[in-house]
Structure 1
Amino acid sequence: MIQSMTGFGKHVVQLPSKKITVELKSLNSKNLDINARMPQSYREKELELRKMIADTLIRGKVDFGLYVEITGEETTAEVNQGVVKKYMEQLSQIAQGDDLKLLELALRMPDTLKTDKDDIDAAEYEAIKAATNQALEEISAFRSEEGKVLEKDFVQRIKNLNILLEKIKGLDPERLGTIRERLDKAVADLKVEVDANRFEQELTYYLEKYDITEEKVRLANHLDYFETTLHSDDSNGKKLGFISQEIGREINTIGSKANYAPMQQLVVQMKDELEKIKEQMLNVL
């Protein structure tokens, strides 16, 4: 079953003095690209959290957000009183003002708050990991639902390509007959005598250059292989991309050999269907 690279997952954990929110958003990308936003005090755990995300999401441009809101009395920041007083003394020498105004100005200056860096509580970190796992489950479910929509579209596009291929097969004898008639007429218009046997040999050689039997067989095989891969257990976006390139190569060869307007019109329709597949393929995991 294929998965989309587009997804969203969110989970919130309420601790006695904190509310922790984990958010995951992903878009399509050739490789895995994780952008992590989290408080500085949690950066020591960033690599481990990144590995959890990489093991699950595999590929895509992923935005990971860890947000912590203090809901109780706990705080890690304190006013650096000595620094604030020193600022106030210096400000009072520069300009007159009441203590409240000077305090307001002083608190805007650097280093007026000090933060004690404590180790992350083990129970708190387990809650963060649990929230991250829950958010990963949600984003994976989202990706799977998006994948079902993509799969349905791919199945219809492949069906359309098979229908167009059958029409090309039906037109092929008529096409070769038309090319032969065109060549016969061109020679007749020259009003010169030609050796019938030699002419037939040259005509056969010429028509072989326009033969598309191999291309029809390979294209049918590629379409079957695409559909088989589409219904495999894993999401094989890159593999499906390679198969679609091979499909395009066969369609282009048929178009270059067609030399027959009705068949070339079918080839244009096939290219349109394949282009829509390639557009959607960019979002497949």
Structure 2
Amino acid sequence: MLRSMTGFGRCLVESEGFTQQWEVKSVNSRHLDLKWRLPMSVRSLEPRLEKVVRRFASRGRVDISLTLQYTGGTGPAPRFDAMQAEAMLDSLKDLAARRGEPFTPDYNALLALPGLWGDAGDEVDESLTLALEEGLSLALE
């Protein structure tokens, strides 16, 4: 029996404390090639989530994205790498001084630099992990 590796799935699950929306796109490919777009706070779950995908797919390029929205301030607090930001600003200040140009830092620009932001390093709650695995399974079905 011939089975297609081309498909699309979307799943929206609202739970207490968060809403998850999965989107899965797959196209024909010789090997299983997973491309993830996960929020920083749950990137550590990728190996567990890959096991879920492997129950449904053995071949194909599969693009998987998750939008995770926390309600009521229940989400993890982001971590800002202040030391890295200071080093970057110091380097820019030195560059401007060498060129004889004024330098006024734009702190708002730091908000757009993903390398300065990350999760707090906390482990993901097991109930959230199980809910995400279930939501991914629904999108894959």
**TM-score in terms of structure 1 length:** 0.37
Amino acid at match of 1:46: E
Structure 2 distance, partners of 1:80, 1:33, is: 32
More strand by share: 2
Tell me if structure 1 keeps the 8 A contact 2:40–2:118: no
% of aligned pairs identical? 29
* SS of equivalent residue, structure 1 residue 107: helix
More helix by share: 1
* Counterpart pick for 2:138 among 130, 134, 142: 134
Amino acid at match of 1:62: V
Gaps of 5+ in 2: 94-101
Aligned equivalent of 2:36: 36
Aligned equivalent of 1:264: none
**Structure 1 residues 80 and 59: alpha-carbon distance in aligned structure 2, compared to 1, 3 A threshold:** closer
Aligned pairs (5 A) from 1:1-285: 1-75=1-75, 76-77=77-78, 105-109=106-110, 115-137=119-141
Structure 1 distance, partners of 2:129, 2:140, is: 16
Structure 2 distance, partners of 1:29, 1:20, is: 28
Number of residue-to-residue matches in the alignment: 122
Which one has the largest radius of gyration?
1
Gaps of 5+ in 1: 97-101, 138-285
Structure 2 distance, partners of 1:14, 1:29, is: 33
C-alpha deviation, 1:47, in angstroms: 1.4
Tell me if structure 1 keeps the 8 A contact 2:34–2:62: yes
C-alpha deviation, 1:125, in angstroms: 0.8
Tell me if structure 1 keeps the 8 A contact 2:34–2:63: yes
**Root mean square deviation of aligned Cα:** 3.0
**Structure 1 residues 58 and 73: alpha-carbon distance in aligned structure 2, compared to 1, 3 A threshold:** same
Amino acid at match of 2:129: Y
